[in-house]
Amino acid sequence: MEMARIGSTPAGGVSRLALSDEDRAARELLRSWWEAAGLRTTVDELGNMFGLRPGLDSDAEPVLVGSHLDSQPTGGRFDGALGVLAALEVVESLDAAGVATPHPIEVVNWTNEEGSRFPPAMACSGAFAGAFDVDYALELEDASGRTLAEELTRIGYRGARPVGGRGIRASLELHIEQGPILESASKTIGVVTGVQGARWYNVRIEGEATHAGPVPMSRRRDPVRGAARVLDRLYEAVRDYDDDAHLAVGEIGTHPASRNTVPAHVDFTVDLRHPEDDALTVLDASLRSLVTRVTDEMALVGDVRQIWHSPTVRFAPECIGAVRAASGALGYSQMDVFSGAGHDSVYLQRICPAGMIFVPCAGGVSHAESESITPEDAEAGANVLLHATVQLAGGEP
């Protein structure tokens, strides 16, 4: 709740866009809590923050436990923050219990998980895992043209530590489900088996700017009509594909944006998701072909650029097992869940055994200011995170 005061919105959510002043304040508060817990804080070149709790074997590879503090523009108080703060709770609980683990434990706050301000999502955990070059991430731009590098420097988080390139024993992340499955099934713990695939696009429909009044409708090349037809057909194509196909159009913009000028072009984003990669391949082709068909029939010009492809990921059986065992030993109701939302753990699975724990969120709502969880579910998630972390760090759960 104290963290949620940073970037808090009147409607009860948070707005803490990556590398904003609010993100900096959240990072400073987290660092103060980490240091009070005796953790040594390091920051890498992409602003990823690490707090090290030494293990009995100082040469052993660390278990990473964390999530992200950046939020959507009108985000919720728990998306990301629950996992970062539960990781701190794990360290504090181990210290209070006087428990040491063979492997070190490193708590983490990943930069720009959301990819809302600096698309694509998870680019900084992706660079840590070697999926992107560090320079690619540094050069990501926000809508005003500011780069991730400039903003890291501005808030004082362009660290010295190299990004990734080191051995990791395993990683765990506690997160709210951000969907309705656990709540509908009245289960407390989601044992996350994997994450569905995602493809992000920037689409431009080009027409011809003209006066909103005199020009006969038949002589206009209005890109808004084209975009509307593309979107209508795209929603139908996704609906007709199957119930696991997901589409969101989060940003739409006209240029110029003036009420009495027919725009020259319309830009919009497309977020396609599906648990099966080959389904996304088919939907990619559908998007491209319907943009071509609509723009041909309306004498417009279309451009479809894919800016991100995150393939479907299955988490490590070892981590799934540790989460399942911890949840069982603690007596929580549990079920396997395949994640509909993307997470930094998607990229960590490329370099180490990764796993996630879900807890329910009210109504399955997230990426909205009304996002909420119960303290009991937060505690259950943190307890499972604690015991699964100890197991993966070589201790006795």
Chain residues that interact with Mn ion, rule: CB under 5 A: 79-80
3-class DSSP state for residue 181?
helix
Q: Is the peptide bond before 216 cis (omega within 30 degrees of 0)?
A: no
In this structure, the chain runs to a length of: 397
- Beta-sheet pairing, 246-248 with 252-255: unpaired
Lookup: tokens for 127: 């660079």
How far, in Å, CA of 160 to CA of 131, rounded? 20
The entry of Mn ion, ligand HGY, none near residue 80 (CB within 5 to 8 angstroms by kind) is Mn ion
CB of 125 to ligand HGY, least distance (A): 11
Please list, in sequence order, all residues whose beta carbon lies within 8 angstroms of the beta carbon of residue 244, skipping any fewer than 6 positions away.
Answer: 196, 274, 275, 276, 279
The entry of ligand HGY, Mn ion, none near residue 275 (CB within 5 to 8 angstroms by kind) is none
How far, in Å, CA of 34 to CA of 107, rounded? 9
The entry of Mn ion, ligand HGY, none near residue 267 (CB within 5 to 8 angstroms by kind) is none
CB of 271 to ligand HGY, least distance (A): 7
CB of 342 to ligand HGY, least distance (A): 3
CB of 341 to ligand HGY, least distance (A): 4
CB of 95 to Mn ion, least distance (A): 27
The entry of Mn ion, ligand HGY, none near residue 369 (CB within 5 to 8 angstroms by kind) is none
Which is closer to ligand HGY, CB of 45 or CB of 113? 113
Contact 226, 291 (CB under 8 A): no
Angstrom CA distances, 310 to 96, 121, 234, 347, stand at 39, 9, 20, 9
Please give the residue whose beta carbon sits closest to ligand HGY in the complex.
Answer: 342
Helix residue spans in the chain (DSSP H): 21-36, 81-97, 123-128, 134-138, 148-154, 181-185, 223-241, 277-297, 317-329, 345-348, 375-392
Which is closer to Mn ion, CB of 105 or CB of 341? 341
Which is closer to Mn ion, CB of 79 or CB of 271? 79
The entry of ligand HGY, Mn ion, none near residue 22 (CB within 5 to 8 angstroms by kind) is none
Name the site residues for ligand HGY (rule: CB under 6 A): 113-115, 121, 341-342
Which is closer to ligand HGY, CB of 14 or CB of 121? 121
Handedness of CA 162, 138, 158, 198 (dihedral sign): negative
CB of 80 to ligand HGY, least distance (A): 8
Which is closer to ligand HGY, CB of 326 or CB of 354? 354
How far, in Å, CA of 324 to CA of 332, rounded? 10
CB of 198 to ligand HGY, least distance (A): 7
Which is closer to ligand HGY, CB of 81 or CB of 105? 81
Which is closer to ligand HGY, CB of 205 or CB of 359? 359
The entry of ligand HGY, Mn ion, none near residue 121 (CB within 5 to 8 angstroms by kind) is ligand HGY
